[in-house]
Amino acid sequence: MNGTPRPLDELTRRSAQWLARSAAVAERHTAAVVADPFDRAAWQDVHAQSAALRELAAELAARHPGARHPGDLTDDLLADVFLAAYLPAPRLREPASMAPSHRVNHRIVTALTDAPEFAALHRETAGDPYAAALAVLAQAPAVRALLDRTRDARERAGEA
């Protein structure tokens, strides 16, 4: 206690910034729609039963060329679209609480749910996993277009 820092104290001080970063990263979400495990299980069930959903996921994965794991990104995106159609009152997370790699999914789901035609679609799909799965397929053209726009925006940002 002579005023000189001990080696362990110095290491603790230096590591604090890194430990804080790893804790913050661990709390980031990859899902834009807040859902419980049962709702996620409903998605997994219909996804496993539907070849069309799996084919759509594979196609959309090709639209994320810059993603580290594009399949994960598109699987999460389709799950979010399903949950937005399936849940009676879907709630989106704050974008800041999401992993940066998945914020594009938040923007896409927000655009879909803000569209006037989504309200009519949602009235028919809420609570019905099969109708919600069909809604995912019906929304595929809009999802493709939104992915193309986000890809173009990323490319323009890379050129700047």
94 lies in a domain? yes
2 lies in a domain? no
As given in the structure block, the two tokens for residue 50 are 């539907």
For helices 140-159 and 51-61, what crossing angle results, to 10°? 10
What total of structural domains would you count in the chain? 1
Angstrom distance (rounded) from CA 104 to CA 159: 19
Instruction: Summarize the confidence of residues 93-113 as an average pLDDT.
Output: 92
8 lies in a domain? no
User: Is the CB of residue 94 less than 8 Å from the CB of residue 27?
Assistant: no
54 lies in a domain? yes
Determine the pLDDT at residue 160.
46
Determine the pLDDT at residue 37.
95
- Does residue 25 carry a pLDDT above 60? no
pLDDT digits 0-9 by tens, 107-145:
999 999 999 999 999 999 999 999 999 999 999 999 999
- Does residue 48 carry a pLDDT above 50? yes
109 lies in a domain? yes
For helices 103-114 and 116-125, what crossing angle results, to 10°? 90
63 lies in a domain? yes
pTM of the complete model: 0.78
- Does residue 22 carry a pLDDT above 90? no
98 lies in a domain? yes
Dihedral (CA of 43, 45, 46, 52) sign: positive
Q: Using H for helix, E for strand and C for coil, what is the string for 13-75?
A: HHHHHHHHHHHHHHCCECCCECCCHHHHHHHHHHHHHCHHHHHHHHHHHCCCCCCCCHHHHHH
Tell me which residue has tokens 């999914």. Answer: 105
153 lies in a domain? yes
Domain range for 107: 29-159
Q: Mean pLDDT of all residues in the chain?
A: 84
User: Is the CB of residue 98 less than 8 Å from the CB of residue 30?
Assistant: yes
User: Is the CB of residue 106 less than 8 Å from the CB of residue 77?
Assistant: no
Residue 8 pLDDT level (bands cut at 50, 70, 90): low
User: Is the CB of residue 121 less than 8 Å from the CB of residue 89?
Assistant: no
Which one has a higher pLDDT value, 31 or 70? 31
